[in-house]
A and B are shown apart, each in its own frame.
Chain A
Amino acid sequence: MALITAKDLSVGYGGQTVAEHLNFKVNSGDYLCIVGENGSGKSTLVKTLVKLIKPVTGEVKYGDGLMPGEIGYLPQHTVVQRDFPASVKEIVLSGCQSRMGLRPFYNSEEKKLAADNMEKMAITDLANKCYRELSGGQQQRVLLARALCATKKMLILDEPVSGLDPKVTAEMYELVAKLNKEGITIVMISHDIKSAVEYADHILHIGNTIYFGSKSEYLNSKAGKIFMMMQSKDPHAGKPLTV
Protein backbone atom coordinates (compact mmCIF):
# COMPACT_ATOMS: atom_id res chain seq x y z
CA MET A 1 0.00 0.00 0.00
CA ALA A 2 1.14 3.53 -0.76
CA LEU A 3 2.33 5.88 1.98
CA ILE A 4 -0.08 8.58 0.85
CA THR A 5 -3.08 8.16 -1.41
CA ALA A 6 -5.14 11.17 -2.45
CA LYS A 7 -8.57 10.40 -3.86
CA ASP A 8 -10.50 13.10 -5.69
CA LEU A 9 -8.94 15.58 -3.29
CA SER A 10 -9.87 19.25 -3.31
CA VAL A 11 -7.88 21.63 -1.15
CA GLY A 12 -8.37 25.21 -0.07
CA TYR A 13 -8.94 27.62 2.79
CA GLY A 14 -12.20 28.23 4.59
CA GLY A 15 -14.33 26.44 2.01
CA GLN A 16 -12.62 28.27 -0.88
CA THR A 17 -11.20 25.65 -3.23
CA VAL A 18 -7.79 26.36 -4.73
CA ALA A 19 -7.07 23.05 -6.42
CA GLU A 20 -9.51 20.26 -7.06
CA HIS A 21 -9.88 16.71 -8.30
CA LEU A 22 -6.40 15.64 -7.40
CA ASN A 23 -5.59 11.94 -7.58
CA PHE A 24 -2.14 10.70 -6.80
CA LYS A 25 -0.13 8.18 -4.83
CA VAL A 26 3.19 8.42 -3.07
CA ASN A 27 4.92 5.09 -2.64
CA SER A 28 7.74 4.34 -0.26
CA GLY A 29 11.04 5.52 -1.74
CA ASP A 30 9.45 7.87 -4.29
CA TYR A 31 10.71 11.34 -5.08
CA LEU A 32 7.68 13.38 -6.05
CA CYS A 33 7.94 16.94 -7.26
CA ILE A 34 4.88 19.17 -7.18
CA VAL A 35 5.04 21.87 -9.83
CA GLY A 36 2.62 24.48 -11.08
CA GLU A 37 2.10 28.20 -11.51
CA ASN A 38 2.04 30.64 -8.60
CA GLY A 39 -1.24 30.45 -6.74
CA SER A 40 -2.12 27.04 -8.12
CA GLY A 41 -2.39 25.64 -4.61
CA LYS A 42 0.89 23.76 -4.16
CA SER A 43 1.49 24.98 -0.62
CA THR A 44 -2.16 24.45 0.27
CA LEU A 45 -1.88 20.88 -0.96
CA VAL A 46 1.14 20.01 1.18
CA LYS A 47 -0.42 21.72 4.18
CA THR A 48 -3.36 19.41 3.69
CA LEU A 49 -1.02 16.42 3.46
CA VAL A 50 0.56 17.23 6.83
CA LYS A 51 -2.89 17.88 8.29
CA LEU A 52 -2.49 21.58 8.94
CA ILE A 53 -5.73 22.18 7.08
CA LYS A 54 -8.64 19.93 6.29
CA PRO A 55 -9.40 18.86 2.73
CA VAL A 56 -12.41 20.64 1.22
CA THR A 57 -13.65 17.42 -0.33
CA GLY A 58 -12.15 14.02 -1.00
CA GLU A 59 -9.68 12.33 1.26
CA VAL A 60 -6.05 11.62 1.99
CA LYS A 61 -5.22 8.10 3.14
CA TYR A 62 -2.05 7.26 4.99
CA GLY A 63 -0.74 3.72 4.63
CA ASP A 64 2.26 1.51 5.33
CA GLY A 65 2.18 2.46 8.99
CA LEU A 66 2.71 6.16 8.27
CA MET A 67 1.06 8.47 10.77
CA PRO A 68 0.48 12.11 9.72
CA GLY A 69 2.56 13.28 12.69
CA GLU A 70 5.50 11.24 11.45
CA ILE A 71 6.05 13.28 8.32
CA GLY A 72 9.04 15.59 8.46
CA TYR A 73 7.78 18.92 7.18
CA LEU A 74 9.88 21.83 6.05
CA PRO A 75 7.62 24.87 5.85
CA GLN A 76 8.41 28.16 4.17
CA HIS A 77 10.23 30.71 6.29
CA THR A 78 8.23 32.87 8.65
CA VAL A 79 8.82 36.43 9.79
CA VAL A 80 9.29 35.28 13.38
CA GLN A 81 12.30 33.16 12.52
CA ARG A 82 14.26 35.98 10.95
CA ASP A 83 15.44 37.41 14.27
CA PHE A 84 14.88 34.50 16.57
CA PRO A 85 17.56 33.96 19.20
CA ALA A 86 18.03 30.22 19.14
CA SER A 87 20.99 27.94 18.65
CA VAL A 88 21.10 25.37 15.88
CA LYS A 89 21.07 22.59 18.46
CA GLU A 90 17.90 23.89 20.14
CA ILE A 91 16.10 24.06 16.81
CA VAL A 92 17.14 20.61 15.61
CA LEU A 93 16.15 19.11 18.97
CA SER A 94 12.70 20.64 18.67
CA GLY A 95 12.11 18.24 15.79
CA CYS A 96 11.85 15.45 18.36
CA GLN A 97 8.62 16.98 19.69
CA SER A 98 6.28 14.46 18.14
CA ARG A 99 7.83 11.50 19.91
CA MET A 100 7.77 13.19 23.32
CA GLY A 101 4.09 13.35 24.10
CA LEU A 102 3.69 15.12 27.42
CA ARG A 103 7.19 14.32 28.68
CA PRO A 104 8.76 17.70 29.44
CA PHE A 105 12.43 17.14 28.62
CA TYR A 106 14.45 15.47 25.87
CA ASN A 107 16.05 12.15 26.72
CA SER A 108 19.49 10.96 25.66
CA GLU A 109 18.10 9.01 22.72
CA GLU A 110 16.55 12.15 21.28
CA LYS A 111 19.72 14.14 21.86
CA LYS A 112 21.65 11.50 19.97
CA LEU A 113 19.13 11.55 17.13
CA ALA A 114 19.53 15.31 16.87
CA ALA A 115 23.33 15.01 16.90
CA ASP A 116 23.21 12.31 14.20
CA ASN A 117 21.01 14.40 11.96
CA MET A 118 23.22 17.46 12.42
CA GLU A 119 26.13 15.27 11.38
CA LYS A 120 24.19 14.12 8.29
CA MET A 121 23.49 17.70 7.29
CA ALA A 122 27.10 18.70 7.99
CA ILE A 123 26.13 21.35 10.51
CA THR A 124 27.67 19.81 13.62
CA ASP A 125 30.25 22.59 13.84
CA LEU A 126 27.42 25.14 13.85
CA ALA A 127 25.59 23.47 16.77
CA ASN A 128 26.01 26.38 19.16
CA LYS A 129 25.75 29.12 16.57
CA CYS A 130 22.78 31.45 16.50
CA TYR A 131 20.23 30.61 13.83
CA ARG A 132 19.74 34.19 12.65
CA GLU A 133 23.45 34.58 11.91
CA LEU A 134 23.55 31.67 9.48
CA SER A 135 23.37 31.96 5.70
CA GLY A 136 20.19 30.98 3.90
CA GLY A 137 21.59 27.62 2.86
CA GLN A 138 22.77 26.82 6.37
CA GLN A 139 19.37 27.76 7.78
CA GLN A 140 17.68 25.35 5.39
CA ARG A 141 20.05 22.58 6.47
CA VAL A 142 19.11 23.25 10.08
CA LEU A 143 15.40 23.01 9.28
CA LEU A 144 16.06 19.87 7.23
CA ALA A 145 17.86 18.30 10.18
CA ARG A 146 14.91 19.20 12.37
CA ALA A 147 12.48 17.63 9.89
CA LEU A 148 14.64 14.49 9.86
CA CYS A 149 14.29 14.27 13.64
CA ALA A 150 10.54 14.08 13.17
CA THR A 151 10.54 11.29 10.61
CA LYS A 152 12.17 8.10 9.48
CA LYS A 153 10.06 7.72 6.38
CA MET A 154 8.98 10.83 4.62
CA LEU A 155 9.95 14.46 4.10
CA ILE A 156 7.64 17.09 2.70
CA LEU A 157 9.51 20.19 1.57
CA ASP A 158 7.84 23.46 0.66
CA GLU A 159 10.18 25.25 -1.72
CA PRO A 160 13.38 24.44 0.11
CA VAL A 161 15.53 26.40 -2.33
CA SER A 162 13.60 29.66 -2.46
CA GLY A 163 15.91 32.60 -2.04
CA LEU A 164 19.11 30.54 -2.27
CA ASP A 165 21.87 31.27 -4.77
CA PRO A 166 22.46 28.76 -7.62
CA LYS A 167 25.41 27.02 -6.01
CA VAL A 168 23.67 26.50 -2.67
CA THR A 169 20.50 25.48 -4.51
CA ALA A 170 22.41 22.73 -6.31
CA GLU A 171 23.91 21.55 -3.01
CA MET A 172 20.47 21.46 -1.47
CA TYR A 173 19.11 19.35 -4.31
CA GLU A 174 22.04 16.95 -3.99
CA LEU A 175 21.42 16.66 -0.27
CA VAL A 176 17.76 15.85 -0.75
CA ALA A 177 18.60 13.34 -3.49
CA LYS A 178 21.06 11.68 -1.12
CA LEU A 179 18.39 11.37 1.57
CA ASN A 180 16.06 9.86 -1.02
CA LYS A 181 18.72 7.26 -1.92
CA GLU A 182 18.99 6.41 1.77
CA GLY A 183 15.34 5.40 1.66
CA ILE A 184 13.44 8.50 2.71
CA THR A 185 10.42 9.32 0.58
CA ILE A 186 10.48 12.90 -0.68
CA VAL A 187 7.62 15.19 -1.63
CA MET A 188 8.89 18.56 -2.75
CA ILE A 189 7.32 21.71 -4.11
CA SER A 190 9.46 23.34 -6.70
CA HIS A 191 9.27 26.37 -8.93
CA ASP A 192 12.23 25.17 -10.83
CA ILE A 193 10.98 22.62 -13.36
CA LYS A 194 14.44 21.82 -14.71
CA SER A 195 15.74 20.58 -11.38
CA ALA A 196 12.41 18.94 -10.68
CA VAL A 197 12.68 16.73 -13.72
CA GLU A 198 16.35 16.15 -13.09
CA TYR A 199 15.97 14.70 -9.60
CA ALA A 200 12.38 13.56 -9.16
CA ASP A 201 10.94 10.29 -10.37
CA HIS A 202 7.32 11.42 -10.24
CA ILE A 203 5.73 14.74 -11.11
CA LEU A 204 2.45 16.19 -9.92
CA HIS A 205 1.49 19.22 -11.95
CA ILE A 206 -1.38 21.30 -10.63
CA GLY A 207 -3.01 24.43 -11.97
CA ASN A 208 -4.95 24.84 -15.19
CA THR A 209 -4.05 21.34 -16.23
CA ILE A 210 -3.61 18.57 -13.74
CA TYR A 211 -1.12 15.86 -14.36
CA PHE A 212 0.29 13.06 -12.28
CA GLY A 213 2.69 10.39 -13.46
CA SER A 214 6.27 9.37 -13.74
CA LYS A 215 8.84 11.85 -14.94
CA SER A 216 9.33 10.39 -18.42
CA GLU A 217 5.61 10.32 -19.05
CA TYR A 218 5.34 13.91 -17.89
CA LEU A 219 8.00 15.16 -20.27
CA ASN A 220 6.05 13.67 -23.18
CA SER A 221 2.67 14.88 -21.98
CA LYS A 222 0.99 18.03 -23.22
CA ALA A 223 1.02 19.68 -19.78
CA GLY A 224 4.70 18.99 -19.38
CA LYS A 225 5.65 20.32 -22.81
CA ILE A 226 3.73 23.54 -22.36
CA PHE A 227 5.08 24.13 -18.89
CA MET A 228 8.67 23.42 -19.88
CA MET A 229 8.33 25.80 -22.78
CA MET A 230 6.86 28.56 -20.62
CA GLN A 231 9.63 28.23 -18.11
CA SER A 232 12.41 28.36 -20.67
CA LYS A 233 10.91 31.49 -22.29
CA ASP A 234 10.44 33.36 -19.05
CA PRO A 235 13.80 34.32 -17.58
CA HIS A 236 12.24 34.85 -14.15
CA ALA A 237 10.71 31.41 -13.90
CA GLY A 238 12.44 29.27 -11.38
CA LYS A 239 13.22 32.32 -9.33
CA PRO A 240 10.27 32.34 -6.96
CA LEU A 241 9.00 35.61 -5.63
CA THR A 242 10.21 36.12 -2.12
CA VAL A 243 7.60 37.81 -0.02
Chain B
Amino acid sequence: MTGPEAMSRLAGSRAWASFAWIAPLNGRILFGGGLVLLIVFIAAAAPLLATHDPLRVQMSMRLMPPSADNWLGTDNNGRDIYSRIVHGARVSVVVGMAVVILTTVIGTFIGLVSGYFRRLDGPLMRFMDALMSFPSILLAIAIVAALGASIQNVVIALTVSFIPHTARVVRGKVLSVREETFVESARAIGLGDWLIIKRYILPNVMAPLMVQATFILALAIIAEAGLSYIGAGTPPPQPSWGNILSDGRAYLHNAWWMTTFPGLFIMISVLGLNIMGDGLRDKLDPRMEAGR
Protein backbone atom coordinates (compact mmCIF):
# COMPACT_ATOMS: atom_id res chain seq x y z
CA MET B 1 0.00 0.00 0.00
CA THR B 2 2.65 2.47 -0.99
CA GLY B 3 0.30 4.63 -3.05
CA PRO B 4 -1.98 5.99 -0.32
CA GLU B 5 0.93 6.18 2.05
CA ALA B 6 2.85 8.39 -0.34
CA MET B 7 -0.29 10.45 -0.90
CA SER B 8 -0.77 11.07 2.78
CA ARG B 9 2.88 11.97 3.17
CA LEU B 10 2.50 14.46 0.35
CA ALA B 11 -0.57 15.94 1.95
CA GLY B 12 1.30 16.11 5.21
CA SER B 13 4.20 17.94 3.63
CA ARG B 14 1.78 20.42 2.10
CA ALA B 15 0.29 21.07 5.48
CA TRP B 16 3.79 21.69 6.76
CA ALA B 17 4.54 24.08 3.93
CA SER B 18 2.87 26.92 5.78
CA PHE B 19 5.58 26.53 8.40
CA ALA B 20 8.32 26.83 5.79
CA TRP B 21 9.70 29.94 7.50
CA ILE B 22 10.90 27.69 10.31
CA ALA B 23 13.11 25.73 7.96
CA PRO B 24 16.00 28.22 7.89
CA LEU B 25 16.08 28.19 11.69
CA ASN B 26 18.13 25.36 13.03
CA GLY B 27 17.23 23.07 15.89
CA ARG B 28 19.27 24.95 18.44
CA ILE B 29 17.59 28.24 17.68
CA LEU B 30 14.18 26.61 18.06
CA PHE B 31 15.03 24.73 21.24
CA GLY B 32 16.90 27.58 22.92
CA GLY B 33 14.37 30.11 21.72
CA GLY B 34 11.57 27.89 23.07
CA LEU B 35 13.13 27.88 26.56
CA VAL B 36 13.60 31.64 26.40
CA LEU B 37 10.00 32.17 25.30
CA LEU B 38 8.85 29.95 28.17
CA ILE B 39 10.66 32.14 30.71
CA VAL B 40 9.35 35.32 29.07
CA PHE B 41 5.85 33.86 29.18
CA ILE B 42 6.21 33.02 32.86
CA ALA B 43 7.36 36.57 33.57
CA ALA B 44 4.54 38.11 31.57
CA ALA B 45 1.83 35.92 33.12
CA ALA B 46 3.26 35.87 36.65
CA PRO B 47 0.13 37.14 38.46
CA LEU B 48 -1.95 34.49 36.70
CA LEU B 49 0.50 31.66 37.26
CA ALA B 50 1.25 32.41 40.92
CA THR B 51 -0.73 30.37 43.41
CA HIS B 52 0.05 32.56 46.41
CA ASP B 53 0.94 36.14 47.18
CA PRO B 54 4.73 36.10 46.84
CA LEU B 55 5.13 38.59 49.68
CA ARG B 56 2.75 37.06 52.23
CA VAL B 57 4.62 35.93 55.32
CA GLN B 58 3.16 32.95 57.16
CA MET B 59 5.36 31.93 60.03
CA SER B 60 3.31 28.79 60.67
CA MET B 61 4.28 27.55 57.20
CA ARG B 62 8.07 28.00 57.53
CA LEU B 63 10.36 25.74 55.52
CA MET B 64 7.66 23.40 54.28
CA PRO B 65 8.86 20.91 51.65
CA PRO B 66 7.14 20.78 48.25
CA SER B 67 3.50 19.73 48.59
CA ALA B 68 0.19 19.90 46.76
CA ASP B 69 -0.45 23.37 48.15
CA ASN B 70 3.09 24.78 47.99
CA TRP B 71 4.40 23.16 44.80
CA LEU B 72 8.00 24.06 45.37
CA GLY B 73 7.84 24.39 49.16
CA THR B 74 8.03 27.49 51.33
CA ASP B 75 10.90 29.61 52.58
CA ASN B 76 12.07 30.62 56.03
CA ASN B 77 9.25 33.16 56.24
CA GLY B 78 6.58 30.77 55.03
CA ARG B 79 6.32 32.41 51.61
CA ASP B 80 5.46 30.19 48.63
CA ILE B 81 8.67 29.55 46.65
CA TYR B 82 6.84 28.80 43.41
CA SER B 83 4.99 32.12 43.47
CA ARG B 84 8.19 33.93 44.39
CA ILE B 85 10.10 32.33 41.52
CA VAL B 86 7.33 33.16 39.06
CA HIS B 87 7.34 36.79 40.18
CA GLY B 88 11.13 36.75 40.33
CA ALA B 89 11.15 35.88 36.62
CA ARG B 90 9.78 39.35 36.02
CA VAL B 91 12.80 40.95 37.62
CA SER B 92 15.18 38.74 35.67
CA VAL B 93 13.45 39.34 32.35
CA VAL B 94 12.96 43.08 32.88
CA VAL B 95 16.52 43.63 34.07
CA GLY B 96 17.88 41.39 31.32
CA MET B 97 15.93 43.09 28.56
CA ALA B 98 16.69 46.58 29.80
CA VAL B 99 20.39 45.80 30.06
CA VAL B 100 20.45 44.22 26.60
CA ILE B 101 18.65 47.12 24.96
CA LEU B 102 20.73 49.80 26.64
CA THR B 103 23.99 47.93 26.16
CA THR B 104 23.26 47.20 22.53
CA VAL B 105 22.22 50.73 21.68
CA ILE B 106 25.05 52.48 23.50
CA GLY B 107 27.68 49.83 22.78
CA THR B 108 26.79 49.76 19.09
CA PHE B 109 27.01 53.52 18.84
CA ILE B 110 30.41 53.58 20.51
CA GLY B 111 31.59 50.69 18.36
CA LEU B 112 30.38 52.30 15.13
CA VAL B 113 31.90 55.68 15.89
CA SER B 114 35.11 54.17 17.15
CA GLY B 115 35.55 51.83 14.21
CA TYR B 116 34.56 54.33 11.56
CA PHE B 117 36.21 57.52 12.71
CA ARG B 118 39.78 56.51 13.32
CA ARG B 119 40.61 59.58 15.34
CA LEU B 120 38.08 58.64 18.01
CA ASP B 121 39.18 55.03 18.05
CA GLY B 122 42.13 55.46 20.39
CA PRO B 123 40.46 57.44 23.19
CA LEU B 124 37.16 55.52 23.07
CA MET B 125 38.73 52.10 23.03
CA ARG B 126 41.20 52.93 25.80
CA PHE B 127 38.24 54.00 27.91
CA MET B 128 36.46 50.74 27.07
CA ASP B 129 39.62 48.82 27.95
CA ALA B 130 39.69 50.56 31.30
CA LEU B 131 36.10 49.48 32.00
CA MET B 132 36.88 45.99 30.74
CA SER B 133 39.87 45.59 32.99
CA PHE B 134 37.53 45.21 35.97
CA PRO B 135 35.63 41.93 36.17
CA SER B 136 32.05 42.83 35.18
CA ILE B 137 30.54 41.73 38.45
CA LEU B 138 33.06 43.67 40.54
CA LEU B 139 32.45 46.81 38.51
CA ALA B 140 28.71 46.29 38.92
CA ILE B 141 29.07 45.83 42.67
CA ALA B 142 31.09 49.03 42.88
CA ILE B 143 28.49 50.97 40.91
CA VAL B 144 25.58 49.60 42.95
CA ALA B 145 27.50 50.31 46.14
CA ALA B 146 27.90 53.91 45.02
CA LEU B 147 24.32 54.39 43.77
CA GLY B 148 22.42 52.18 46.22
CA ALA B 149 20.67 48.88 45.61
CA SER B 150 17.61 49.15 43.39
CA ILE B 151 16.50 47.48 40.18
CA GLN B 152 17.18 50.65 38.26
CA ASN B 153 20.72 50.89 39.61
CA VAL B 154 21.34 47.23 38.83
CA VAL B 155 20.40 47.97 35.22
CA ILE B 156 22.75 50.94 35.13
CA ALA B 157 25.58 48.96 36.72
CA LEU B 158 25.25 45.98 34.40
CA THR B 159 24.88 48.19 31.34
CA VAL B 160 28.08 50.03 32.16
CA SER B 161 29.96 46.82 32.71
CA PHE B 162 28.71 45.12 29.52
CA ILE B 163 28.99 48.06 27.11
CA PRO B 164 32.70 47.50 26.42
CA HIS B 165 32.04 43.94 25.24
CA THR B 166 29.43 45.01 22.72
CA ALA B 167 31.46 48.03 21.64
CA ARG B 168 34.48 45.81 21.00
CA VAL B 169 32.54 43.31 18.92
CA VAL B 170 30.93 46.05 16.84
CA ARG B 171 34.16 47.98 16.39
CA GLY B 172 35.98 44.87 15.20
CA LYS B 173 33.34 44.19 12.60
CA VAL B 174 33.20 47.85 11.52
CA LEU B 175 36.95 47.86 10.95
CA SER B 176 36.58 45.08 8.42
CA VAL B 177 33.36 46.35 6.81
CA ARG B 178 34.64 49.89 6.34
CA GLU B 179 37.43 48.62 4.09
CA GLU B 180 34.97 46.90 1.76
CA THR B 181 34.74 48.33 -1.73
CA PHE B 182 31.02 48.93 -1.34
CA VAL B 183 31.74 51.50 1.33
CA GLU B 184 34.13 53.29 -1.00
CA SER B 185 31.54 53.00 -3.72
CA ALA B 186 28.95 54.53 -1.38
CA ARG B 187 31.36 57.38 -0.80
CA ALA B 188 31.81 57.68 -4.55
CA ILE B 189 28.08 58.19 -5.08
CA GLY B 190 28.20 61.09 -2.67
CA LEU B 191 26.89 59.65 0.58
CA GLY B 192 28.12 61.28 3.77
CA ASP B 193 29.66 59.51 6.74
CA TRP B 194 26.51 59.16 8.84
CA LEU B 195 24.43 57.86 5.96
CA ILE B 196 27.15 55.34 5.15
CA ILE B 197 27.27 54.24 8.79
CA LYS B 198 23.50 53.90 8.93
CA ARG B 199 22.84 52.17 5.64
CA TYR B 200 26.06 50.36 4.79
CA ILE B 201 27.99 49.66 7.98
CA LEU B 202 25.31 49.06 10.61
CA PRO B 203 23.29 46.48 8.63
CA ASN B 204 26.49 44.57 7.95
CA VAL B 205 27.40 44.36 11.64
CA MET B 206 23.94 43.20 12.73
CA ALA B 207 24.74 39.48 12.66
CA PRO B 208 27.46 39.40 15.33
CA LEU B 209 25.52 42.04 17.22
CA MET B 210 22.45 39.80 17.54
CA VAL B 211 24.54 36.90 18.75
CA GLN B 212 26.26 39.18 21.23
CA ALA B 213 22.87 40.43 22.46
CA THR B 214 21.68 36.93 23.35
CA PHE B 215 24.85 36.27 25.32
CA ILE B 216 24.57 39.62 27.09
CA LEU B 217 21.02 38.72 28.06
CA ALA B 218 22.25 35.47 29.61
CA LEU B 219 25.10 37.26 31.37
CA ALA B 220 22.73 39.94 32.65
CA ILE B 221 20.37 37.35 34.15
CA ILE B 222 23.26 35.62 35.92
CA ALA B 223 24.74 38.91 37.04
CA GLU B 224 21.42 40.20 38.38
CA ALA B 225 21.00 36.96 40.34
CA GLY B 226 24.57 37.26 41.54
CA LEU B 227 24.09 40.84 42.66
CA SER B 228 20.82 40.00 44.40
CA TYR B 229 22.48 37.02 46.05
CA ILE B 230 25.07 39.19 47.71
CA GLY B 231 22.46 41.79 48.56
CA ALA B 232 23.57 44.35 45.99
CA GLY B 233 20.68 43.70 43.62
CA THR B 234 16.92 43.60 43.89
CA PRO B 235 16.13 44.83 47.39
CA PRO B 236 13.98 42.47 49.52
CA PRO B 237 11.18 41.77 50.04
CA GLN B 238 10.65 41.93 46.26
CA PRO B 239 11.50 38.44 44.99
CA SER B 240 14.22 37.85 42.44
CA TRP B 241 15.92 34.57 41.65
CA GLY B 242 19.09 35.83 43.21
CA ASN B 243 17.64 36.87 46.55
CA ILE B 244 15.50 33.73 46.83
CA LEU B 245 18.74 31.79 46.46
CA SER B 246 20.36 34.06 48.97
CA ASP B 247 17.58 33.48 51.52
CA GLY B 248 18.01 29.75 51.06
CA ARG B 249 21.75 29.80 51.64
CA ALA B 250 21.37 29.47 55.43
CA TYR B 251 19.01 26.50 55.05
CA LEU B 252 20.92 24.42 52.48
CA HIS B 253 20.99 21.44 54.86
CA ASN B 254 17.36 21.27 55.85
CA ALA B 255 15.48 23.05 52.97
CA TRP B 256 17.11 22.09 49.67
CA TRP B 257 14.10 23.36 47.71
CA MET B 258 14.82 26.99 48.63
CA THR B 259 18.03 26.98 46.58
CA THR B 260 17.45 24.22 44.05
CA PHE B 261 14.41 25.64 42.30
CA PRO B 262 15.51 29.23 41.73
CA GLY B 263 18.87 27.82 40.64
CA LEU B 264 17.12 25.56 38.19
CA PHE B 265 15.25 28.49 36.68
CA ILE B 266 18.42 30.51 36.29
CA MET B 267 20.04 27.52 34.65
CA ILE B 268 17.16 26.90 32.24
CA SER B 269 16.98 30.50 31.07
CA VAL B 270 20.74 30.86 30.65
CA LEU B 271 20.97 27.49 28.93
CA GLY B 272 18.17 28.45 26.57
CA LEU B 273 19.82 31.77 25.73
CA ASN B 274 23.22 30.21 25.16
CA ILE B 275 21.87 27.45 22.95
CA MET B 276 19.93 30.01 20.98
CA GLY B 277 23.01 32.23 20.72
CA ASP B 278 25.11 29.34 19.43
CA GLY B 279 22.45 28.51 16.88
CA LEU B 280 22.22 32.13 15.77
CA ARG B 281 25.96 32.39 15.43
CA ASP B 282 26.12 29.36 13.18
CA LYS B 283 23.18 30.62 11.20
CA LEU B 284 24.50 34.13 10.73
CA ASP B 285 28.16 33.38 10.24
CA PRO B 286 28.74 33.61 6.49
CA ARG B 287 31.62 31.16 6.70
CA MET B 288 29.31 28.49 8.06
CA GLU B 289 26.79 29.34 5.35
CA ALA B 290 29.38 28.89 2.62
CA GLY B 291 30.23 25.45 3.91
CA ARG B 292 26.72 24.27 3.28
A and B assemble together: no
Binding site for B on A (CB under 8 A): none
